[in-house]
Amino acid sequence: MPKIAIIGAGSVMFAKQLMTDILLTPGLEEGEFALVDIDAPRLELAAQMGELLVSLSGRKWRVTASTDRREVMADSDYIIHTIEVAGLPNVRHDYDIPKKYGVDQCIGDTIGPGGLFKALRTLPAWLDILADAEHLAPNALVLNYTNPMSITVLAGIRASSMAIVGLCHSVQHTSRQLARYLDVPYEELVFQVGGINHVAWFTRLERHGEDIYPRLRERGRIPEIYEQDPIRFETMFQLGAFVTESSGHFSEYTPWFRKRPDLLKKYARSGYLGESGFYANHWPQWRQAGEFEIKQHLRRQSRGRNPRVKMTRSDEYASYIIEAMETNTPTVIYGNVANTGLIDNLPTDGVVEVACLVDQRGIQPTHFGKLPTQLAAINQQHMAFHDLVVTAVLEQDREAAVHALMLDPLTATVCSLEETRAMFDEMVAAERMYLPEFLL
């Protein structure tokens, strides 16, 4: 009977999906969801939604909840980490201040100035959670969903004894997109992916033993297909491989697409395809919409009506990992793990995203090999950024955080060193209430 702690359950729509996935998992007939969030009203919503999902599933799961994780986290078998630290008060600062300096972000939550400052706000809380886990649930597997993914996992690996794997959905979603672009059944697609989170590369793409990259390049030249993913297709044409993150978000990881208005006009499109300020402008409304949807389900239930909850198991890896470990049903996921020689030409003190076998023995990363040099070079630059951010927090070294921003590809392509430091100082001043003391 597994006990699953969800830390940051106030992200109610995501917590709802994770609980739905687990309640639909074969062999998991009973267990416990231990929900934690410091936002009491949103935690209560998540707990009520959990109770509703359990009743709809017909399974014997219980739901406990507390704003104090120490009250409910003890003896957890799995800890799912989904926290957001001071996002609402700072999402505008993360976008608006860099924009003044010419740094144009689309999402800005894993890389760039926005990603850096999200990490600086998040890592201290993450490390406190892991410290509690070491005492209360030392044998638990920690499944991290919080961004910035690579930085968060790297900090956890360096500072904690807990077993940690970072989980994203970019490989699942992109592989399904590729099947659609290729117009082939998804089940017939065979692929290999390696790199870092959001910048992992499809280095193998086959169907019936045949390389279908030539077909993808042909299909990508068709305007109506190209327009669905302009930046990723352009990257593939020029660098030789399709990348795992959306066109808009990936454009922030490079110096090529967002440094001039003419390039933005040529390559960026609306929404996740590259819209300037897309996350800052829309995330608060998405959050409200999710909360409203949960309240609607609960309101209908309280009135004795069908709550109209659609229960479908998603592609998120968490439930498949738990199924594999609890029922010894082997599966393969793509996880963010320490690079213990898994990708030969990436730093061994960093975090990489590779295929992992999962069974009752836990997460077992597989050896990827060597990335093409041009792709490895992009990843290496970001891994230096990750290293500096984690060093800054663990060693309370302000200069390391400044140097990280200086190495950020998008920032470096439009800002001088002096301008980068000025931007950093301005962001610290704006967000000082939510940042660790060593930065002030």
What is the DSSP-derived secondary structure letter of residue 146?
P
How distant is the alpha carbon of residue 50 from its chain centre?
23
Structure tokens at 413: 């392509």
Give the residue numbers spanning the domain of 99.
89-109+168-276+316-440
pTM: 0.98
- Please tell me the distance from the alpha carbon of residue 424 to that of residue 426, in angstroms, as a whole number: 5
Strand 60-66 with 210-211, pairing: unpaired
Whether 310 is covered by a domain: the verdict is no
- Please tell me the distance from the alpha carbon of residue 421 to that of residue 440, in angstroms, as a whole number: 14
Whether 305 is covered by a domain: the verdict is no
Provide the pLDDT for residue 366: 98
Decide: 84 and 333 in contact? Cβ < 8 Å: no
Work out how many domains the chain is built from and give that number: 1
> Could you please report the per-residue DSSP string of 13-58?
HHHHHHHHHHHTSTT--EEEEEEE-S-HHHHHHHHHHHHHHHHHHT
Provide the pLDDT for residue 373: 98
Whether 150 is covered by a domain: the verdict is no
Whether 245 is covered by a domain: the verdict is yes
Strand 199-207 with 242-243, pairing: antiparallel
Whether 139 is covered by a domain: the verdict is no
Enumerate the active-site residues: 169
What CATH number is associated with residue 409?
Answer: 3.90.1820.10
Query: CA geometry: angle at 161 spanning 156 and 164, to 5°?
Result: 50
Structure tokens at 309: 């909850």
- Please tell me the distance from the alpha carbon of residue 91 to that of residue 427, in angstroms, as a whole number: 11
Beta carbons within 8 Å of 309's beta carbon, 6+ residues apart: 52, 53, 56, 297
Decide: 355 and 332 in contact? Cβ < 8 Å: yes
Provide the pLDDT for residue 388: 98
pLDDT under 70: residue ranges of the chain: none
Whether 306 is covered by a domain: the verdict is no
Whether 320 is covered by a domain: the verdict is yes
Structure tokens at 197: 């989170």
Whether 424 is covered by a domain: the verdict is yes
